[in-house]
Amino acid sequence: MFTRRDFLQYASVTAAVTGFSGGLTRVAAQQRLQQEDLLQFDAKGQVTLLHLTDIHAQLKPIYFRPPSENFGVGAFEGIPPHLIGDDFLRHFNIDRGTALAYAHTMVDYVNMAQTYGRLGGLDRTATLVKSIRAERGENKVLMLDGGDTWQGSYTCLKTNAQDMVDCMSLLKPDAMVGHWEFTLGADRVLEIIDGLDYPFLASNIVDLDWEEPVFESTAFYEKGGVKVAVIGQAMPYTPISNPRYMFPEWSFGLRTGLLQENVNNARDEGAEVVVLLSHNGFDVDQKLAGVITGLDVILTGHTHDAVPHALKIGNTLVMSSGSHGKYLGRIDLQVKGGKVVDHSSTLIPVFSDVITPDPEMKAKIDEVRAPYEKEVTRVIGKTEGLLYRRGNFNGTWDDLICEGMMEERDAELAFSPGFRWGTTLLPGQDITIDDLYTETAMTYPSVYRLEFSGKQIKDILEDVCDNLFNKDPFFQQGGDMVRVGGMGYTCAPKESIGSRISNMTLLKTGEPIDPNRSYTVAGWASVNEGVEGPAIYDLMETYISKQDTINVPENEAVKIIGV
């Protein structure tokens, strides 16, 4: 049988045909890869789980370059998801130059992107979801939203997330969880949830006064004659990575004891399958799979990792379905005697060129974007090179933002948060307002200008680095590494806190950063209330417009050792 994997491996750019350099035209790639190929799957059992996570308000197809650094430490070193490039391809037995190689790695990224085109688009995802529901029967399918849905675009920011709420409702999710959703503020979150016709789950959020649940913890469904419980887990460190003042009466945390209690309660109420819909992050959930008993499936989000199929950790399947609408995760479960006895799984890349847009969703996307279309398509510059963000350390979008802040705020140094959201622009593409806001659209955008001593700067870098590279994933509380402008440093991720950062250098002079000297630093996305300064998207529009053509050189000032 010629399987879906065979199609994705050999249907387009192969070394035998093109010499592996993106030699096929876009038309040829479309002809060789079809929508039916993406949907081919070994259907199994009575229950199908569909998982979409970390879409970050991207309604339209996008480019998104996978990371060139994804370092694991401790027990998670050198295993998925901490594999990139050729190591990833070898581990998952994926050939270079294929559709799957493009979807999952940065190998020959520009050539592959020019061949295969964009991924995602909620109208394409809707086509896949409707096709699977039609094939399996709606009574067998659960569609679950892993959160980070209501943030990350111009229209989402301007509509206070209503564009995403309206469009997602057409996908008919059965449940969702959250993280960046909370940066809309508690009142707006509760207002949206009140209008949803599906539950917003968060077993790990309680109120500060009485430690009572703020949201539902568990939802029950009958699918294929099987009772399924879905338990929600919000990002546990939201008040650390985002402003607490936006949701001051809510307490977050992993709350593993409470989670185990909820799993036990679900089993006591007759659940034959228990699913954790999580925004913990991949490594946290890998550890959680060995700590919590009774979980059949963890659908994980937050870290934007994409693996071609679910991983089996003990008795628990862990699926991570990427980000920005690039993928749709699917797990089929066969249940017998109240237990999962077999499964099959896949991560479907949403190749926008070969999937017919769903008319209903396309019309809704056009409707919600129509009032803003002239503004979002306004061109403010052009990029000469590849602009991307994703990776443990600086990407070119991050370097550009740091350059802009230093210039526009007259600062010696710049800090930009290690956000994982933000799409990619290929060399030669125009930079539009839409593109700028995929990197900057948020509700606390002020660009500050402050004085920090060299010692304070080192302490900040060490603290963020420990959040990222702590060997215990339960203490990994942030995103990727803070991006820096105007300085270089060496990082040793496998060392302990206080010993990871060295060789801090002021690039302008080549001198070491003096721990006793004060430096003027520009930054944005401070979690503190009352920060003063221009919005990052306004500042960067001004800076990019002045440059006309952007050329960001490769960053060689940050060096990684010992990995």
Predicted confidence (pLDDT) per residue in 261-309, tens digit: 999 999 999 999 999 999 999 999 999 999 999 999 999 999 999 999 9
Contact 546, 481 (CB under 8 A): no
> How far apart are alpha carbons 486 and 469 in whole angstroms?
24
For residue 377, pLDDT beyond 60: yes
Q: What is the CATH number of domain 34-62+118-368?
A: 3.60.21.10
Range with lowest mean pLDDT among 33-37, 140-144, 326-330: 33-37
Q: Which residues contact 139 (CB under 8 A, 6 or more apart)?
A: 223, 224
Report the percent of the chain where pLDDT is more than 70. Answer: 94
Half-sphere exposure of 316 (CA within 13 A, CB side): 22
One-letter amino acid at 186 equals A
Range with lowest mean pLDDT among 118-122, 230-234, 467-471: 467-471
Antiparallel, parallel or unpaired: β 47-52 and 141-145? parallel
Q: What is the pLDDT of residue 380?
A: 98
> How far apart are alpha carbons 515 and 524 in whole angstroms?
23
Q: What is the pLDDT of residue 29?
A: 63
Number of helices (H), then strands (E), in the chain: 20, 24
For residue 31, pLDDT beyond 60: no
Dihedral (CA of 305, 400, 540, 378) sign: negative
> How far apart are alpha carbons 509 and 518 in whole angstroms?
15
- The secondary structure of the chain in percent helix, strand, coil, rounded to multiples of 5, reads 35, 25, 40
Antiparallel, parallel or unpaired: β 175-176 and 141-145? parallel
For 526, list phi and psi in degrees, rounded to 5: -65, 140
Contact 24, 114 (CB under 8 A): no
CATH number 3.20.20.70 is the correct assignment for the domain at 377-560: no
Q: How far apart are the first and last CA of the chain?
A: 41
Q: What is the pLDDT of residue 15?
A: 35
Mapped onto helix, strand or coil, the DSSP state of residue 313 is strand
Q: What is the pLDDT of residue 20?
A: 38
Contact 427, 106 (CB under 8 A): no
Q: What is the pLDDT of residue 17?
A: 33
Q: What mean pLDDT do residues 224-231 have? A: 98
Contact 523, 413 (CB under 8 A): no
Q: What is the pLDDT of residue 160?
A: 98
Q: What mean pLDDT do residues 42-67 have? A: 97
Q: What is the pLDDT of residue 33?
A: 82
Dihedral (CA of 537, 109, 105, 63) sign: positive
> How far apart are alpha carbons 230 and 215 in whole angstroms?
13
Q: What is the pLDDT of residue 10?
A: 43
For 59, list phi and psi in degrees, rounded to 5: -85, -25
Q: Closest Cα partner for 419 from 403, 443, 440?
A: 440
pTM value?
0.94
**C-alpha dihedral (542, 548, 551, 555), degrees to nearest 10:** 0
> How far apart are alpha carbons 293 and 291 in whole angstroms?
7
Give ranges for CATH 3.60.21.10 in the chain. Answer: 34-62+118-368
Q: What mean pLDDT do residues 247-262 have? A: 97
Q: What is the pLDDT of residue 390?
A: 85
> How far apart are alpha carbons 235 and 146 in whole angstroms?
10
Q: What is the pLDDT of residue 479?
A: 77
One-letter amino acid at 171 equals L
Assign 21 a pLDDT band (cuts: 50, 70, 90): very low
Polymer length in residues for the chain: 563
Identify which has the larger pLDDT, 35 or 444. 444
Assign 535 a pLDDT band (cuts: 50, 70, 90): very high
Determine how many CB atoms are found less than 10 A away from the CB of residue 9. 18
Antiparallel, parallel or unpaired: β 487-491 and 141-145? unpaired
Give ranges for CATH 3.90.780.10 in the chain. Answer: 377-560
Dig out the tokens for 170 from the structure. 């057409």
Contact 183, 242 (CB under 8 A): yes
Contact 277, 231 (CB under 8 A): yes
Helical H runs in 69-210? Answer: 85-91, 99-104, 109-116, 122-136, 154-158, 162-171, 186-195
Mapped onto helix, strand or coil, the DSSP state of residue 256 is helix
> How far apart are alpha carbons 408 and 522 in whole angstroms?
9
Element (H, E) at 454: helix 454-469
Please state, in angstroms and as integers, the Cα–Cα distance from residue 214 to each residue in 252, 312, 500, 519, 553, following that order: 10, 32, 39, 43, 47
- Mean per-residue pLDDT over the chain, rounded: 93
Dig out the tokens for 515 from the structure. 């721990």
Q: What is the pLDDT of residue 548?
A: 80
Task: Report the chain's C-alpha Rg in angstroms.
Answer: 23
Q: Closest Cα partner for 487 from 409, 557, 552, 554?
A: 557
For residue 412, pLDDT beyond 60: yes
Dig out the tokens for 29 from the structure. 């790639």
Q: Which residues contact 281 (CB under 8 A, 6 or more apart)?
A: 235, 300, 301, 302, 303, 473, 476
Q: Which residues contact 379 (CB under 8 A, 6 or more apart)?
A: 430, 431, 432
Contact 282, 146 (CB under 8 A): no
Contact 537, 441 (CB under 8 A): yes
Element (H, E) at 5: helix 4-10
Q: What mean pLDDT do residues 166-195 have? A: 98
For residue 11, pLDDT beyond 60: no
Contact 535, 542 (CB under 8 A): no
- Determine whether 36 is exposed, middle or buried from the number of CB atoms within 10 Å of its CB (0-12, 13-18, 19+): exposed
Q: Which residues contact 166 (CB under 8 A, 6 or more apart)?
A: 364, 368
Q: What mean pLDDT do residues 244-270 have? A: 97
Dig out the tokens for 370 from the structure. 């129509």
